[in-house]
Amino acid sequence: MDNKQLWDSVLGEVQITISRANFSTWFKNTRIIKLEGGIVYIGIPNEFVKEWLFSKYDKFILKTLRDISESVRGVEYVIVTPEMKEKADTTPPSRNQQPYTQELPLSDLYINKDDNLNPRYTFDNLVIGSFNELAYAASQAVVKHPGNTYNPLFIHGGTGLGKTHITQAIGNSIKAEKTGKKVYYITSEKFAMDYINSVQNKGINEFKEKYRKYDVLIMDDIQFLSGKEKTQEELFHVFNVLYENNKQIIFSSDRHPNHIPGLEDRLKSRFGAGMIVDISTPEYESRMAIIQRKIQSNNFSLSAESIAFIAESLECSIRELEGIVNSIICQARLKNRDLAQNEIKLLIKNNIVPKKTASIKDVIRIVSDFYHIEESSIYEKTRRKEIVKPRQIAMYLLREDFSVSYPTIGEKFGGRDHTTVIHSCDKIKDSIKKDEVLVEELLQIRALL
């Protein structure tokens, strides 16, 4: 494979993971100008593109190159002007160009091809807050007693909230603490492709044996199996064999299994037999911690006022938050100075979503008024129907409309356990499907909010 084919392969992988606009902005007019001593020299058009590729896409480029060619050890980005272009094809880049280099430590950053685990995903670099503390606690229990506690473990939540980080951290921890345990991580999409290929190549027995030999099976993005009946059937059989032999099974999805369309009831039943936990959008304190961790990992500093401003202004996923911090770091380095708050505000303005300003007390007050009950009664530990329904609705609205974590809701409602809150929310979700009066009531309450 020559340099052009190698880079075209990388660009093909990049193109399916980012928007067309981003691809055109950052990867247009880039190419490999030299491959020497395991270092890939990538020609780029200007300083700004160099800085951006290094800060935002460097590790992805390294991983993709390494997947294609195991001889690759690092990447350097070199500005190539039109006048230099022809010369760059035959001359190694001068060291006074100060290319950005990121070596790939073989034992640190490479994804292990035997288990697909990324060693960078650990619990040590995971920010823990009320948004993910249930998932974290369940994960720790699984690490201590794999196959016996919370089996299967099902973690769900929106894109970019850290599901992959937690599930892979479980795998890495079990590998480190339980010598000899065979761990395997795979996406459901890859599982489906493996199944299709096994059918086409008459290797179904090998397929069955492959997935039944592991002590811990981690499957990401289970929602992609929606509607794939034959693949779901094979997963069902794999699940049963592993479960019956006390092997740990871990799933993740962007939604609760009961809300995945086209997912067989028998699989939903299996998922529900273990522990189902969710990860919500990080709250203010967690966003602060995520920003601080990100700037520290980049050897960058940001004032406490700026960190607080970003955390207060943005309510988004971990991935989006880290991307915004990358932009701030890139701009600050290009300008060679700290950014003023008005400059930061300009950078993040497109990510700011108007906030819903109602507090927990406001929601409880409005729901209580709507159902003509005393506000204090909603906190009582009573099973009276006229109290239980408003309480469940208030919990549901706080969770669905304001992304308040289950533990926080339980605490505000008189110290109730998070499982009580989950049950209440699920009860309202189920009732909405068949109770048109309840749907109308929710519309009216939301209008008041």
The percentage of the chain sitting over the pLDDT mark of 70, rounded to a whole number, equals 90
Share of the chain above pLDDT 90, in %: 26
Least confident of 84-98, 373-387, 392-406: 84-98
Amino acid 346: pLDDT: 80
Q: How far apart are CA 89 and CA 137, in angstroms?
A: 54
Confidence of residue 96 (pLDDT cuts 50, 70, 90): very low
Phi, psi of 215 (to 5 degrees): -85, -30
Token readout for 350 is 């497109």
Q: Which two tokens stand for residue 129?
A: 């807050």
Instruction: Please give the pLDDT value at position 241.
Output: 94
**pLDDT confidence band for 97 (50 / 70 / 90):** very low
Give the lowest-confidence range in 184-198, 256-270, 326-340.
326-340
Quote the pLDDT of residue 357. Answer: 58
pLDDT at residue number 150: 93
More confident: 441 or 173: 173
Residue 13 has pLDDT above 70, yes or no: yes
| pLDDT-based confidence at residue 108 (cuts at 50, 70, 90) | very low
**Greater confidence, 81 or 105?**
81
Contact between 42 and 31 under an 8 Å Cβ cutoff? The reply is: yes
Predicted pLDDT of residue 101:
40
pLDDT higher than threshold 70 for residue 259: yes
Model confidence pLDDT, tens digit, residues 392-415: 999 999 988 887 888 889 888 888
In angstroms, what CA-CA distances link 178 with 170, 248, 369?
A: 11, 13, 55
Mean pLDDT of the chain: 84
For the chain, which domains are there? 3-103 (3.30.300.180), 133-279 (3.40.50.300), 284-351 (1.10.8.60), 360-448 (1.10.1750.10)
Whether residue 123 has pLDDT greater than 80: yes
Q: What is the pLDDT of residues 325-373, one digit of tens each?
A: 888 887 888 778 888 878 888 877 766 655 555 688 889 999 988 888 9
Section 208-217 average pLDDT: 92
Choose between 214 and 59: higher pLDDT: 214
Q: Return the pLDDT at 1.
A: 63
Q: 197-201, 219-223, 352-356: which has the minimum mean pLDDT?
A: 352-356
Pairing of strands 100-103, 74-79: antiparallel
pLDDT digits (tens, 9 = 90+) for 227-247: 899 999 999 999 999 999 999
pLDDT recorded at residue 353: 57
Residue 351: the pLDDT is 62
Interval 290-320: pLDDT, tens: 998 888 888 888 888 888 888 888 877 888 8
pLDDT band at 48 (very low <50, low <70, confident <90, very high): confident
Tell me the pLDDT band of 103, cut-offs 50, 70 and 90: very low
Query: What are the tens digits of pLDDT across the range 417-432?
Result: 888 889 999 999 988 8
Least reliable range by pLDDT among 25-29, 228-232, 247-251: 25-29
pLDDT on residue 84:
47
Question: pLDDT band at residue 95, thresholds of 50, 70 and 90?
Answer: very low
What confidence score (pLDDT) does residue 166 get?
A: 95
